[in-house]
Structure 1
Amino acid sequence: MKKRLFIYTAFLAFSSASLFAQNQDADDDLKTTNAVTTDSIVASSSYVIDPLAPSKAAFYSAIVPGLGQVYNKSYWKVPIVYGSMGLSMYYYSFNNTEYHRYRDAYRDRLAGRPVTGELAELSNDRLISGQRFHQRNRDLSLLITVGLYILNIVEANVDAHLAQFNVNENLSFHPTIEQTGMYNTGLYNTGFQVGMTMSYKF
């Protein structure tokens, strides 16, 4: 009788210890899961998208060229914007001055007034050709300046879009090679298939 009682007591003690250990492991797993979930929420919440950022960048560049690049913190692009637009505006000013110089000389020639300076030795055909040449280059420089102004706005808008593009590792493509099997004339043949899988980690 005492032997049975001792065995029964030992069995109860062992069962209680096992149950306590299982509960402790379950609590540890729950804490770990909560910690991972909390970390995941914090990590995901740190990724913020501002839908108005591209519009703001484009608006700033429309007001002052290069200001949208400053808003996007792409400071190295500002000298490129001002350098390209400044060069095209310089060529516009230069060709506009030369166009008026050739035109005034041609008008003086037609009015019978003496033409002075380096244009005095040019014929009427050369004066007309010079007018057309500088007028064409002046108009082209103006178009390039306007195009660079528009490009400055578009670039600021696109750069703001790309700055918010999600490039973390939660969404990714991975190449996979899977072994497949099929029955053929009573035999089991194996082969490989190459494919691409898309995975998203929550």
Structure 2
Amino acid sequence: MNKIISIALFLIILSNTSALAQKTAKTEEAVAKDTLKSIDIDPLTPAKAAFYSAVLPGLGQAYNKKYWKIPLVYGAIGTSLYFYLDSNKKYHQFRDAYKRRLEGYTDDEFSFLDDSRLIAGQKFYQRNRDFSTLFIVGFYVLNIIDANVDAALMQFNVDDRLSIKPTLYRNDINLKTNVGLSLNYNF
């Protein structure tokens, strides 16, 4: 009798585990169909974009497919480079004129200026040249940082399942319209 009870109990447990396994397989299949395929995230993408921008300014923006930023990069660096070259040229003109004055010549293009004005002009254009150098380096570094950050932010998941929507609803007590903000995330 004990043997029959133990065999019956064994068969009942065996039948329940197979049914449980079938339910688990169906549940996993339903979850797999419901979930979205994740976008492959490449952790080296920001480093590649930064490297490309370091090699050639604007190339990282092209790698990120943000083509509208390329003229901004070249405009910023090109304008700073123009002011550097212009200030450097004028600095050398003032310096050469002052050197000629020290040698005793007065036939330079700045004959209407005295020596103190030539020194002031040198300092002014030297300072502008140095600031232009800082701007060139700054815009170059900003170009690299922009490509890196933009590539990193492109990998964030922003889809319709994660949304913030403003909603209007009526208050049942005084029948006035209220404004609310709902944050919804669907699993």
Normalized against structure 1, the TM-score is what?
Answer: 0.66
Q: Which has the higher strand share?
A: 1
How many residue pairs were aligned?
159
Q: 1:75 aligns with which of 42, 67, 71?
A: 67
In the TM superposition, what is the alpha-carbon distance from 1:173 to its structure 2 partner?
A: 4.3
In the TM superposition, what is the alpha-carbon distance from 1:117 to its structure 2 partner?
A: 4.0
SS of the residue corresponding to residue 96 of structure 1 reads: helix
SS of the residue corresponding to residue 122 of structure 1 reads: coil
Larger radius of gyration: 1
Q: 1:52 aligns with which of 25, 39, 44?
A: 44
| Partner residue in 2 for 1:154 | 145
Q: Is the aligned partner of 1:145 residue 2:136?
A: yes
Which range is displaced more, 84-93 or 166-175? 166-175
Q: 2:99 aligns with which of 96, 103, 107?
A: 107
Q: Is the aligned partner of 1:200 residue 2:171?
A: no
Q: 2:78 aligns with which of 63, 80, 86?
A: 86
Q: How far apart are the structure 2 equivalents of 1:83 and 1:172?
A: 37
The correspondence of residues 172-191 of structure 1 with structure 2, limited to 5 A, is 172-173=163-164
Q: Which runs of 5+ in 1 are unaligned?
A: 1-29, 180-193
1:110-145: CA deviation from partner (whole Å, max 9, x where unpaired):
121x24342122110110111011011101111111
* RMSD of equivalent CA atoms: 2.9
SS of the residue corresponding to residue 45 of structure 1 reads: coil
SS of the residue corresponding to residue 120 of structure 2 reads: helix
Q: How far apart are the structure 1 equivalents of 2:180 and 2:76?
A: 47
Q: How far apart are the structure 2 equivalents of 1:165 and 1:116?
A: 67
Amino acid corresponding to residue 96 of structure 2 in structure 1 = D
1:18-60: CA deviation from partner (whole Å, max 9, x where unpaired):
xxxxxxxxxxxx7xx957842x34xx22522222111111111
| Partner residue in 1 for 2:120 | 129
Q: How far apart are the structure 1 equivalents of 2:109 and 2:84?
A: 22
Identity fraction in percent: 55
Pair 196,138 (structure 1): closer, same or farther in 2 beyond 3 Å: same
